[in-house]
Chains A and B, each alone.
Chain A
């Protein structure tokens, strides 16, 4: 059985990791470099840094943080939030990131994904989808941290992103984000079934059972964890230990 990846998601605003609910009401929870190092040493499989404000104010100050983190953290690192063009991607990769996650810019300019995956390979480009429940079986894709609607159906948009060349999808449920009430299983199932690239589930993790429930319907490739780690409610090592007991294969240190 393939191994499920546990991914620590660090939303960064200025110099701090922040965390909100439904991507809003943000609170400072720590230093991004220190947290990244702590999760790395605790056995997390990947780290995703998201610039929480960049796409809204057109700022991007994450590269310096990434460079510092990459000197100490030897696992895959993704950077997202505010990636607008090929130049931003190049700077992100030069700072030490292995992949970039793109949402807003992909919607505004489909060509960006196409060009970027041709230059750096599709494994380098993660399509980031923020989805909000609309009606039974329907979700809409949002941009700017769940603030702006796009009119696009999230499941259709997922397939389109794969056609354009992303090598991976990170799907965040805005409805479940920060609630610790579990993943949007139906949304993730639908997207995971409709694409042939790995899917990362984000938004809603609260306890191990949420992963077990999700995994029963969808053999997703990874899950993103935030609140639970940032507030030290649980550790990566202990979550992995429990997953192993429940026959979900994960990497252990």
Chain B
């Protein structure tokens, strides 16, 4: 059975993540312990809330280094929502805050130029980008359904090859998922996206 560590940093919809992993019969555990994290087969950084608070908590609990060390091992890593945003170099939410720097680029407010409201709270389609195909990735589920988004900010990768999926809110095309080697990030919540989301998570823990 795959051991999936979920980073416990006092933020985020931890219960939802744990419930979905239990449902998928993964051996999952919530932890902030260095050794436990390094021993896991896969690592998830969940999160909802503000970037600044998220990064401050990662630093407070000494989790920045272990995330970087885990990524170095080549084992699969997934950041969800704020957890994806924190992978970037920096965010412009309430001033500039430095991120983990695992994906080159910035996090900025989702530009909306029609009557769309923020936060963007809705189910939405995701599309494959030409530069990063889904084959053999966590999105290679063989079918496609809507996923659930709730966010006001988006990650903008410097290298377009890191964009695994895009979505559209109003007139705005934005980055819905990233992939860089063994590092995945989803702006949407797979743990809240019904059966399709569970299938994505299942592919992740078995990747």
Contacts and interface: CB of A to CB of B under 8 A. Distances in A.
Q: Do A and B come from one complex?
A: yes
Interface of A: 2-3, 5, 40, 45, 67, 70-72, 74-76, 93-96, 98, 118-124, 167-168, 195-199, 219, 221, 251, 253
Nearest to A5: B122
Given A2-B116, A75-B148, A94 B15 contact: yes
A70 B118 CA distance: 26
B72 interface: no
A45 B123 contact: yes
Given A95-B15, A96-B16, A196-B117, A74 B122 contact: no
A70 B49 contact: no
Contacts of B49: 119-121, 124
Contact of A96 (B15, B118, B146, B151): B15
A196 B124 contact: no
Given A2-B169, A74-B194, A123 B121 contact: yes
A28 B116 CA distance: 38
B146 A198 contact: no
Given A74-B194, A74-B197, A168-B119, A253 B145 contact: yes
Given A93-B13, A168-B119, A251-B146, A71 B170 contact: no
A197 B19 contact: no
Contact of A5 (B19, B50, B53, B123): B123
Contacts of A70: 15-16, 19
A199 B170 CA distance: 16
B198 interface: yes
A219 B114 CA distance: 12
B119 A74 contact: no
Contacts of A253: 145, 194
Contact of B191 (A74, A119, A221): A74
Nearest to B81: A123
